[in-house]
A and B are shown apart, each in its own frame.
Chain A
Amino acid sequence: MSEDLLPRIAAGDADAIQACIERYGALIWSLARRHSPSSGDAEDGVQEIYIDLWKSADRFDGSKASETTFVAMIARRRLIDRHRYRQRRPTSDALDPALELMSDPQQRQIEASADASLAARALATLAPQEKRVILLSTYQGMSHGQISNHTGIPLGTVKTYIRRGLQRVRDILENPTPTTKGVGR
């Protein structure tokens, strides 16, 4: 398991800053591209995310969450707020066509984040339609209204699916079963 970098950054370790850019660059770039309407916008988002990360480094507590998830959380917050700021979102044309086809995360070893592994296990317990709605929201970055239009599912049901799904994931993250407790963070 890789050593956490954010505590070192918070302590002023310059080498850790470079390592952080290296380690999380691909993840942040992936998030920014998916949650941004254009490549240029994604690049601006990446720069803002890293600034947020530098500012938040001393908030990270490795005993409570994986560093990868923490980084993704910071990134998502920034990207969502940028969307809100512009009041526009990627259209359904921007959907990742691989969503419906890609393999289940459980089938691949997720070394980057124990939290992510637990989240995948939680999602695996949901009905396919619920799982799809949650992925359209969290992974594709679609608004709830867009998901309703895209899937034909009533907006209220979309919101319920997302709420229940995130509750499920949250509960599992907070209280991993004995078989998942051994997964290092």
Chain B
Amino acid sequence: MKESREAHDQLLVDYATEGLDEARWQELQNQRRAQGIPTDRRFEWAAAAIDVAYSHAARAAEAPLPESLRQRVEDQASGFFAGRQAAQTEASKPSQGAGAEVIPFPESDGAPTQPVVPPPISKRSRWTGWSVAVAASLLAIWGWSPRIAQQLAGTPTEIASGPVGEPPQTGNAPTIRRQQLLRQAPQIVQASWTATEDPAAQGVSGDLVWSIELQEGYMLFNGLPVNDPSEWQYQLWIFDRRQDERYPVDGGVFDVGTDGSVVVPIQTQLEIDEPYLFAITIEKPGGVVVSSRERLPLVATL
């Protein structure tokens, strides 16, 4: 037990001081899930306190921001808060996510804020006009149709969790874990997929579940076409009320290797606290950082 605790602490310490690669990040996640260990950010807190102490001791924190940089930060802040205000006005529809309880720092619950390699903001997708484009498309055909707590039919084929961009493997963990989330996890949000006019969306159904507390979620698809990963892949995008809608979070690329039903783990690279929209696009192999949105078969709104 002691060795297990030390190993877990070592992962947390490594995460706090030098980050984790994908394999060790998954190891940390697996330990948390298996042992029911809540997220512990106290080592990050301790490291930050040391950094601050010695920054001041070395008088390292006395040089102000360069004027040009300061101006960019100010401009960026203006844009950020203006965008947030606009997004809040636009997304006026109530949702489960909007009411999510904020996990206070440094409480030891909830999920780690960052997995491994979040791309720089400048490299995230810029989806200006996203809401307008999707809303127009869907309203013209089906209208928004979120459904919560949909009961799922049939026994889906499972796709195991793996590093983003790698072909999924067959296994039973995702479906089991998904069911566990639905049964046990608090702060669960769930919504069904809404198909667009894209050919890949015809006849597709399913839903997604997302645990705000555990930062873990799964997508269920019924009838999503099999793809050839050498030609194209599916990519998930997540919109969070806390973030500028021009920068949806990349939820990772995935493949569908079989007809019927599949369960795909959501691979976020940033913390998702108040999701309000999930979208699936079809992209080149490996995915993109800037989506053209030429093919957008599915969306799910909360």
Binding site for B on A (CB under 8 A): 12, 14, 17-18, 21, 25-31, 34, 43-44, 46-48, 50-51, 54-55, 58-61, 64-65, 68-70, 72-73, 75-77, 80-85, 96, 98-99, 102-105, 107-108, 110, 112-113, 115-120, 123, 134-135, 137-139, 143-144, 159, 162-163, 166-167, 169-170, 173-174
CB-defined A-B contacts under 8 Å, sample of 9: A29-B66, A84-B21, A85-B118, A98-B58, A102-B58, A110-B57, A115-B52, A167-B43, A170-B42
- Rounded to whole angstroms, the CA-CA distance of A131 and B283 in the bound complex is 49
What band does the interface of chain B fall in when counting residues whose beta carbon is under 8 Å from A? Answer: 35 or more
Report the minimal beta-carbon distance from B20 to chain A, rounded to whole angstroms: 8
Report the minimal beta-carbon distance from A12 to chain B, rounded to whole angstroms: 8
CB pair B120 A82 closer than 8 Å: yes
Q: A73-B105, A81-B117 are in contact. List 20 more A-B contacts (CB 8 A).
A: A12-B81, A17-B77, A21-B73, A21-B77, A29-B66, A43-B66, A61-B104, A69-B52, A77-B114, A80-B19, A82-B120, A105-B54, A119-B53, A123-B53, A144-B18, A166-B47, A167-B9, A170-B42, A173-B45, A173-B46
**Shortest Cβ-Cβ A-B pairs, 3 listed:** A119-B49, A116-B53, A73-B48
Chain B contact residues: over half helix, strand or loop, or mixed? helix
B10-60 residues at the A interface, CB under 8 angstroms? 10, 13-14, 16-21, 41-58, 60
CB pair A116 B64 closer than 8 Å: no
- Rounded to whole angstroms, the CA-CA distance of A134 and B103 in the bound complex is 29
Task: Please name all residues of chain B whose beta carbon is closer than 8 Å to the beta carbon of A21 when the two chains form the complex.
Answer: 65, 70, 73-74, 77
- Rounded to whole angstroms, the CA-CA distance of A179 and B12 in the bound complex is 29
B132 within 8 A of A: no
Report the minimal beta-carbon distance from A78 to chain B, rounded to whole angstroms: 8
> A162 with B19: in contact, given A21-B65, A26-B61, A115-B49 (CB under 8 Å)?
no
> A119 with B46: in contact, given A26-B65, A85-B120 (CB under 8 Å)?
yes
B227 within 8 A of A: no
- Rounded to whole angstroms, the CA-CA distance of A16 and B243 in the bound complex is 19
A-B contact count (CB 8 A): 225
- Rounded to whole angstroms, the CA-CA distance of A103 and B205 in the bound complex is 64
Task: Please name all residues of chain B whose beta carbon is closer than 8 Å to the beta carbon of A137 when the two chains form the complex.
Answer: 17-18, 47
Contact of B56 among A51, A98, A116, A135 (CB under 8 A): A116
Task: Please name all residues of chain B whose beta carbon is closer than 8 Å to the beta carbon of A104 when the two chains form the complex.
Answer: 57
CB pair A26 B62 closer than 8 Å: yes
- Rounded to whole angstroms, the CA-CA distance of A82 and B117 in the bound complex is 7
> A139 with B50: in contact, given A30-B61, A69-B45 (CB under 8 Å)?
yes
Report the minimal beta-carbon distance from B289 to chain A, rounded to whole angstroms: 12
CB pair B105 A65 closer than 8 Å: yes
- Rounded to whole angstroms, the CA-CA distance of A118 and B52 in the bound complex is 11
Contact of B118 among A14, A70, A81 (CB under 8 A): A81
B102 within 8 A of A: yes
Task: Please name all residues of chain B whose beta carbon is closer than 8 Å to the beta carbon of A48 when the two chains form the complex.
Answer: 120-121
CB pair B102 A58 closer than 8 Å: yes
- Rounded to whole angstroms, the CA-CA distance of A48 and B105 in the bound complex is 20
B199 within 8 A of A: no
CB pair A83 B19 closer than 8 Å: yes
CB pair A85 B48 closer than 8 Å: no
Q: Which residue of A lies closest to B41 (CB)?
A: A73
B146-201 residues at the A interface, CB under 8 angstroms? none
